[in-house]
Structure 1
């Protein structure tokens, strides 16, 4: 009986948390967001903290990245573009992560920092260490673009190269009786290898080494230019590390040693009298999205994450995904908007479903048929399905370190009956219908006939992919087969192969879209984002299944209840009520 009541109490507590506490917290967050916006001080140091990680794009649902940093590469680029023309913003203070950054994101942020500096503004970057985790060379590249790069005195400078690890499960699967049955097209489509191999195949090692060298060389070249060091000298110096902060300073790899508080004090001194530090998120909230004033518009259609069929998940914390229904609809909405003259399709995806990819590509074709040029701006990744949906655009722009290509396909299943049987678990299956009905069952391996049918479907998908690339890039099919075979390329490599037209970021993509739409380069244009960002009321409506009007009412109640004057009135009402009951209440006691 005691355990029963404990269980009931636990269930009740969970229900209270889900239906009362979480909604209340969300309501208070939204109430705060719709309040008055802060005023930017006349001498502002804008602080951009990159340590919490980034997404490529800001999700249309404000609660989708609940618990994350809330910053995206595109938001940073957009906000810095506004800050560079804001006379109140004098200095940018960058807080660098200790580990690596996604190389393409680092490329785009570095370019934005360089544009910011051209407006006679200073940038101070501070590092608490550059540790060899991920692409730390990319982190150093962002710091190297600053006017001054500071490092904490006890920190280590370990940006000596680039490394990547792959976990191979082939021997473990063999030991425990797991049978991975996969088809891949072709030898460079190496996602399958982690299940079937115990080491890199020759093709896998060749492709991985090539893209890593490309990323590393690109970063070293950018750092050398920004810090005015000969590339060969810088490369030799970096690879001879690691170093202490004092050694890095003597080698001119950094500019100053100091605590972050000292860097903040220097930034405020440079900004002028009574300078204040303003967080990047707070400043961005005062600006909103960058927009022009012209009559024509450029549509910015966003797509980030794995490519899936369906309409997508709008709940908080749901993460990023490219849902085929939602993304295709966004493209069609841009097509139907008479004010939109061209479309910039921002793609950051490692791939996904071929059918979902084809649905989105059909919408890209429809835009071109409607006379609206489509320019793809590739983010961190645009590989496999990410390249499929990009392949027939009018123009493709990628960062030098964007991971793209992977023109290939793989699929299969795991046969688990033997593995489970070793633990006394028996799996059996019953099927009716045709020979292929149980083809994907984990109980038995493919029959020869099933394997042949499945392999034929892989061949068909691969040929469809190759055909779309050949048509979109105006390349002979045989040439595409030669450079495809599932191989991953960086943006810099892909440009040399004809898979990418131009190196750059969203700014370059917008400029090309204007040119293709025959809009003069010096003409201001409006930006229209698709899918349109949800306001907090619409997001609450989706999360809790209420109308947006009801959500607005809840938020307004939350806003009123958080207002000091309203709280004072409520305290007085409560005090009068309790006096009538013979109780004593302190006048300034907060409501519980």
Structure 2
């Protein structure tokens, strides 16, 4: 009876997947494969930065999961548009709040390169509100040829602020113990659980990187607005203003509504110019130019999000940097004889030490065969720095948050707190003293605490050793600059943690130099280990392989040749996706 019920459950799940999930997948694939309209002879690209952004294109294979805007896709599209005679100008809608500083840095470099090709940029803002790194948003507007603001819109670029929440007094009141180990004093990710205010080290670290980010953004904006940095900061900090005041003070160029700014961009495009979104331009220009076929290849491997063990999974939320997938992509790129160098794009604040070590081992193995250059995005910190530390070269944005060479770990002891509400936690442990160390029932025992601290020390010492080896520094020097402290790219370069300040294409140029390809045209090829659409859909719907086999059997029982053909085609796709797969190729860099 039990087996019968399990079989029927599998049949039901398979039928639901087949009659609901598969048609949805097919429609999504058809929609994504629809041929976009050709790029007009006179095109003004439109870039809306008010959308949610990621650093890299999500590595999902379900078309309906790829939402938002990927910075790297935009940067590569603008790089291509520079040499596209049909593209005449760029119209940008700025967000009202602060941007991730590293993303803004990368986009600013792309804007400047686009303008240097002789093509103008018109940017429009409907308001700049005092939130987060608002100076980074202003920096992007300042990088345009014309900076417009909506009449009456607020201009609140007066500095940079952030808040942290501290739970210590709440925990004390309700009997919760946060039992954590940190290495060292600047590794402040858990300080909100341990203290009721900033420690001196915590305040020093956050003030340091915030000041560096603010100074970098305002220095760049000052250069683009042709003002002295100190003069610009004095004017900004005397605010806030409205759009008219900002124009009077030389902070923007024009006051007008969105259609007026867009019309100014169309005029730059010439008679008959049409506005085309960057998304549509990317879709219409995915093919590899014939001129790049046969050229040396620089592989691009991406890592974004929290570093975790495991393969790439279908995801409807935040992307993770899965160690199996990234290590596999690095291995595939290293084995490809057409690939002469690898650019490893990293935007990660950290994660698992074991997953980080798996990726670092793949970096070392790949570097033994060809140059591996890391390009850091918004983050390259903690585990993000671990996986970067032994590359041939590291290129970071001025405001990349990197370093954080440290480790923390621990648990919350909830037993006493829950007991106050009539909930009792009790353990049964079999084996050694450490068997119950992770239990939330109580604090670590002294023996458990000593063993756990020793493990934290081992991981920290290993991190120090890997950085020392990769960066050719003494362990003592690394310990001096580590202690868990976050550095911006500017400061990390001073300490020898990165080699060069710049964006993705500076990393490509560095890879070309190391591969002895200076002056040559190369083709970029993004490499990834990915799941097939069939497997991804199965994962998304929580259906196991047995149920999928049941679905296939059910399709045959229905004697529907179209269904049988679809099952066969998807099965072939699953087999094809077992190894490395090229997700995208971009031309001529």
* Compared CA separation, residues 553 and 475, structure 1 to 2 (3 A): closer
Residue 309 of structure 1 is matched in structure 2 by 309
* Compared CA separation, residues 494 and 171, structure 1 to 2 (3 A): same
Offset at residue 551 of structure 1 (A): 7.2
Residue 377 of structure 2 is matched in structure 1 by 379
Asked if 2 retains the 8 angstrom alpha-carbon contact of 1:294 and 1:524, the reply is no
Offset at residue 374 of structure 1 (A): 0.9
Residue 344 of structure 2 is matched in structure 1 by 345
TM-score (structure 1 length as normaliser)? 0.87
* One of 520, 523, 529 as aligned partner of 1:523: 520
**3-state SS of the aligned residue for 1:298?**
strand
* Compared CA separation, residues 35 and 537, structure 1 to 2 (3 A): farther
* Compared CA separation, residues 465 and 202, structure 1 to 2 (3 A): same
Residue 263 of structure 1 is matched in structure 2 by 261
Residue 439 of structure 1 is matched in structure 2 by 437
Residue 74 of structure 1 is matched in structure 2 by 72
Q: Deviations over 1:499-521 (max 9, x none)?
A: 000000110111111111111x2
* Compared CA separation, residues 435 and 133, structure 1 to 2 (3 A): same
Residue 144 of structure 2 is matched in structure 1 by 146
* Compared CA separation, residues 290 and 352, structure 1 to 2 (3 A): farther
Residue 183 of structure 1 is matched in structure 2 by 181
Asked if 2 retains the 8 angstrom alpha-carbon contact of 1:301 and 1:344, the reply is yes
**3-state SS of the aligned residue for 1:436?**
helix
Offset at residue 16 of structure 1 (A): 11
Offset at residue 469 of structure 1 (A): 0.4
Residue 33 of structure 2 is matched in structure 1 by 34
TM-score (structure 2 length as normaliser)? 0.87
Q: Distance in 2 between matches of 1:536 and 1:82?
A: 29
Q: Deviations over 1:387-410 (max 9, x none)?
A: 000011110000000000000000
Q: Deviations over 1:432-459 (max 9, x none)?
A: 1001000111002111111001101111
**3-state SS of the aligned residue for 2:190?**
helix
Runs of at least 5 residues in structure 1 that lack an aligned partner in the other structure: 1-13, 555-592
Asked if 1 retains the 8 angstrom alpha-carbon contact of 2:312 and 2:530, the reply is no
Q: Deviations over 1:140-196 (max 9, x none)?
A: 111110000000002100011111111111111111111000000000000110111
* One of 423, 426, 443 as aligned partner of 2:424: 426
Map 1:235-314 → 2, pairs under 5 A: 235-288=233-286, 292-314=292-314
Q: Which has the larger radius of gyration?
A: 1
Map 1:38-437 → 2, pairs under 5 A: 38-63=37-62, 66=65, 68-69=67-68, 71-288=69-286, 292-315=292-315, 317-370=316-369, 372-437=370-435
* Compared CA separation, residues 526 and 541, structure 1 to 2 (3 A): farther
**3-state SS of the aligned residue for 1:531?**
strand
Asked if 1 retains the 8 angstrom alpha-carbon contact of 2:171 and 2:177, the reply is yes
Moved more, 335-344 or 524-533: 524-533
* Compared CA separation, residues 37 and 522, structure 1 to 2 (3 A): same
Q: Distance in 2 between matches of 1:248 and 1:303?
A: 39
Q: Distance in 2 between matches of 1:342 and 1:351?
A: 25
Q: Deviations over 1:518-557 (max 9, x none)?
A: 11x2211121212067786786576567799737979xxx
* Compared CA separation, residues 27 and 397, structure 1 to 2 (3 A): same
**3-state SS of the aligned residue for 1:190?**
coil
* Compared CA separation, residues 81 and 539, structure 1 to 2 (3 A): farther
* Compared CA separation, residues 538 and 447, structure 1 to 2 (3 A): closer
Aligned length: 537
Map 1:477-516 → 2, pairs under 5 A: 477-516=475-514
Runs of at least 5 residues in structure 2 that lack an aligned partner in the other structure: 1-12, 553-563, 571-589
Offset at residue 266 of structure 1 (A): 1.5
- Measured on the aligned residues, the alpha-carbon RMSD in Å equals 2.3
